[in-house]
Structure 1
Amino acid sequence: MFKTYQLKTEALQMIVTNAGASVVSLKVKDNKDNWQDVVLGYEEVDTYVTTNDACFGSVVGRHANRIKSGLFELNQKTYQLEKNNGGNNLHSGSKGFHLREWQVESVSDKAITFLMISPDGDQGFPGNMEMRVTYELEGNQVTINYIGLSDQTTVFNPTNHSYFNLSGHQDGNVLDHLLQLPCRYFMPIGEDSVPTGERRSVSGTPMDYLTPKPIETQFDLSNEQLRLGNGLDHHFVLAHEEKAMVLSSPRTGITLEVTTNMPGVQIYTANFVKDVKGKEGIVYQERSGICLETQHCPNSINLPEEKSPILEPNQEISYQTKWQFTTN
Structure 2
Amino acid sequence: MNTGLRITAFAAALAATFGTAYGVGKGADPVFDTASQHAGPSHAAQEKQEKAGGDGHGGHQEKAGGDGHQEEAGAAEKGRTAGGLEISEGGYTLALETPTVTAGDRSEIRFAIKDEHGDNVTGFRREHGKELHFILASRDLTTYRHLHPVREADGTWSTAVELPAAGGYRAFADFTPAGERSTGHTLGADLAVAGAFRPAAMPPVRAAAEVDGYQVALDGGLRAGRAGELTLTVSKDGRPVADLQPYLGAYGHLVALRSGDLAYLHVHPNDGGPGPEVSFTSTAPSAGTYRLFVDFRHEGKVRTASFTVEVAAADH
TM-score by length of 2: 0.30
TM-score by length of 1: 0.30
